[in-house]
Chains A and B, each alone.
Chain A
Amino acid sequence: MDLVAGTPVFLEEIVARESDFAGQSVRVTGTLHSYSPAQESAVLVEGESAVVVDTRLLGVVKYHVGQTYQFIGVLSPTAASSDIAVDDVRCAGTVRLHARVGRVVDGLDMVMYRRAIMELRAADIL
């Protein structure tokens, strides 16, 4: 099975154009807002956007609210759910990230990270 690379994207892009990202392999970065062991899902927040991450494929990972996490996986369509509410942010309602890789990236310079991704996009690499 050939693995597809996870293209780095921002959460606000996913929230703004959910249908465009359905089925795509992406890499997202954000702060952990909440984690539900019963549902095996985490909510990742970046700025005013949030995405639900399905973590059942990740195995044993220690989740600490407030830490910065990065997940690689596929954005799959999901039925809109009102169970997950995040205050003052827009949460992607029709897609959910089925993560296959997750890691803590505390200390990542998000300003430089964003600028680097914009530069790569400008050069047509991403």
Chain B
Amino acid sequence: MNLQNRPCTRPQTEWGLDTLFWVPAKLFIGDLAKLISAEPLSSTVFFIGNQHVIKTVEIVGIVVSIERRALKMIYYQVDDGTGVISCVQFTTPAEQAEPGTLECYGIGDSICVRGRLAVYRDQLEVIIRESEIVDPNHETLAWMERLSMRRFLATSPFAAEQ
């Protein structure tokens, strides 16, 4: 089933009427690559499915790569079987002062990440707001939840009222 993403035709002042605008949308990483940006109106809002509007997402996958840039941020590459995306964790000043206190995930950890979408150097990434390790069965459940969400996004429109 192709999502066939379409930009929202409603004015920007009404985007908040879409429930998905306020909650982390449960999506496959492979679907994130096909989002339509709301630029030039907004660089942090994206359109998906039948004119739905999102700015935060929840993804579940396996950490396949970790990159630390100085002490300020950690880049995780997360793979959920449909795609790979960068998830950025910004460290706090306290964690930068005491690097030993920083808790970091390991390669192979199955994690659930919630955060806002951002485009940096033409690459879509997730700025982590919260994240946690989940067990492998949670990933299977997450696939089914996202499958259900896909059906909703493709069929239920957030179109202007007639």
Any A CB within 8 A of the CB of B110: yes
A38 in contact (CB, < 8 A):
no
Residues of A close to B99: CB separation below 8 A: none
Pair A103/B143 contact, Cβ less than 8 Å: no
A103 touches B108 (CB 8 A): yes
Given contacts A6-B81, A70-B136, contact A125 B147 (CB under 8 A): yes
The count of chain B contact residues (Cβ–Cβ below 8 Å) is 27
Q: Mark B22-61, 1 if CB is under 8 A from A, else 0.
A: 0000001110000000000000000000000000000000
Main secondary structure of the interface of B (DSSP, over half): mixed
Contact A125:B28 (CB < 8 A) given known A3-B77, A109-B137: yes
Interface contact B80-A107, CB-CB below 8 Å: no
Contact B108 A5 (CB under 8 A): no
Given contacts A103-B62, A119-B147, contact A5 B81 (CB under 8 A): yes
CB neighbours (8 Å) of A77 from chain B are none
B151 shortest CB reach to chain A, Å: 8
The total number of A-B Cβ pairs within 8 Å is 72
Assess A5 versus B30: contact at CB under 8 Å? Given A109-B137, A113-B140: yes
Q: Tell me whether B64 and A112 are in contact (CB under 8 A).
A: no
A107 touches B81 (CB 8 A): no
7 contacts between A and B (CB under 8 A): A3-B65, A6-B64, A6-B81, A8-B81, A123-B150, A125-B82, A125-B147
Contact surface of B with A, Cβ cutoff 8 Å: 1-2, 28-30, 62, 64-65, 77, 79-84, 107-110, 135-137, 140, 143-144, 147, 150
